[in-house]
Structure 1
Amino acid sequence: MNAHTDLINRYFDAWNETDGARRRELIAAAWSADADYCDPLLAGSGHAGIDAMIRAVHERFPHHTFRRTGQVDGFANRLRFSWELITPSGEAVVKGSDFGVVDPQGRLQTVTGFLDQVPDGA
């Protein structure tokens, strides 16, 4: 496994963690302190902003999980990957593709998300 794939796997560990304290630890391990996330529906800056954003997704989609689809593609400090948000029964209700920049310490600096499929009314 390469460093970009390992980083994105840790990214999804944070997104899927429902315990707030553990999620904040995972965010700190995967994201730089001044990190920024943005997609058409969500935004968060810094560890606290990213934690609040993830918590809001858990509130809106309880018991759902994120999973990576396909391989992480990357070069230098840039990467891209695709994902799905899965219902407890295994149905993908949201799909997207994200692009990231990695800081010199190997943590995410920025992630920009694009939504490929969203539920009605999202």
Structure 2
Amino acid sequence: MSAHTALIDRYFDTWNETDASRRMELIVATWASDATYADPLLSAQSHEGIDAMIRAVHERFPQHRLRRTTAVDGFADRLRFSWELSTPEGVSIIKGSDFGQVDANGRLQAVTGFLDEAPSAV
């Protein structure tokens, strides 16, 4: 498994973690302290901001799961991958593609997300 793939798998572990303490541990291990996240619906900066954003997604979509749907493609400090958000019954309701930049310590510096498929009510 490549370092980029391991990082992004941990990224999804972070998004799916419901225990606040464990989620913050994963955020610190996965994201640079001044990292940023932006997509058409959400944005965040710093560990605390990323945690608040993920918590808000959990509140909006309880018991839903995010998972990677493609291989992680990357070169140098850049990467990309696609994902889906599924209901507790396993029905995919949102699909997207993210592009990331990795810092010198191997943590995410920035992630930019695009929604590939989403219901109009999102």
TM-score (norm 1): 0.99
Superposition pairs of residues 7-26 of structure 1, within 5 angstroms: 7-26=7-26
Q: Secondary structure at the match of 1:70?
A: coil
CA positional deviation for 1:98: 0.2
State the match for 1:118 in structure 2.
118
Matching residue's letter, 2:8: I
Cα drift, residue 119 of structure 1 = 2.0
For residues 110 and 118 of structure 1, the distance between their equivalents in structure 2, rounded to whole angstroms, comes to 23
Residue 55 (structure 1) aligns with: 55
Identity of aligned residues (%): 68
Aligned residue pair count: 122
1:120 positional shift: 2.5
| Matched residue, 1:75 | 75
Q: Show CA shifts across 1:11-61 (max 9, x none).
A: 000000001111000000000000000000000100000000000000000
SS in structure 2 of the partner of residue 115 of structure 1 = strand
Q: What RMSD in Å do the two structures reach over aligned CA positions?
A: 0.5
Q: Tell me the TM-score normalised to structure 2 length.
A: 0.99
Counterpart Cα distance in 1 of 2:90 and 2:17? 18
- Name the aligned partner's letter for residue 76 of structure 1: A
Question: 2: distance between equivalents of 1:120 and 1:51?
Answer: 25
Say which SS state the counterpart of residue 89 (structure 1) adopts.
Answer: coil
Q: Identify the residue that residue 6 of structure 1 maps to in structure 2.
A: 6
Cα distance in 1 for residues equivalent to 2:63 and 2:119: 16
Tell me the distance in 1 between the aligned counterparts of 2:60 and 2:94: 12
- Structure 2 distance, partners of 1:77, 1:31, is 14
- Structure 2 unaligned regions, length at least 5: none
Moved over 3 A (4+): none
Give, as a single letter, the amino acid of the residue that structure 1 aligns with 2:78.
Answer: R
